[in-house]
Amino acid sequence: MVKKSRPRKSRAGLAPGSRAFVALWSSADRVRAFMGAVVEPHGITVQQYNVLRILRGAEPDGLPTLTIAERMIERTPGITRMIDRLETKGLVARERRGGDRRCVYCRITRAGLEVLRSLDRAVDAADRAAFSVLSAGELARLTEMLERVRDAHEAGSAKPESG
């Protein structure tokens, strides 16, 4: 029986994969909070902002609720409740189409478009500021590496070791 060698510990006392996970997760948390400071004064959360941007891109047809959930940057099990909140705020409208009463289409309202228009410049500036410590080349490499990791997980090729 061949014994597996243990991953080598880094200076921080964590295996390289663990260190990368902690760095990614904590960085994502800080950037999410940074973006929250931009959008929350407008009465929406970062996830709600994401829904509104998805729906703006789907104009004029709108999208079914489950399609919105699939396109979310940060997956959420409560998409229906999130749409409820956005509808209550007058930022999203829902309608049933065709014979399938279960299929609900969502569209961004004029008020929702106005919220996004009022945020466009601030969000663009925040995107730049959030990563201003990186050069253009570093940012491109970071993006490429993160996309590779995400794509591997979405394809199912990244699997935990049983152990």
CATH number of the domain that 139 lies in?
1.10.10.10
Q: What is the pLDDT of residue 4?
A: 57
Owning domain of residue 79: 34-153
Asked if residue 148 belongs to a domain, the reply is yes
Per-residue model confidence as pLDDT tens digits over 3-45: 555 555 545 578 888 899 899 999 999 999 999 999 999 999 9
Asked if residue 3 belongs to a domain, the reply is no
Asked if residue 158 belongs to a domain, the reply is no
Asked if residue 4 belongs to a domain, the reply is no
Low-confidence stretches of the chain (pLDDT < 50) are 10
DSSP string of the chain, one letter each residue: -PPPPPPPP-TTSS-HHHHHHHHHHHHHHHHHHHHHHHHGGGT--HHHHHHHHHHHHTTTT-EEHHHHHHH-SS--TTHHHHHHHHHHTTSEEEEE-TT-TT-EEEEE-HHHHHHHHHHHHHHHHHHHHHTTTS-HHHHHHHHHHHHHHHHHHHHT---PPP-
Q: How many domains does the chain have?
A: 1
Asked if residue 25 belongs to a domain, the reply is no
Asked if residue 107 belongs to a domain, the reply is yes
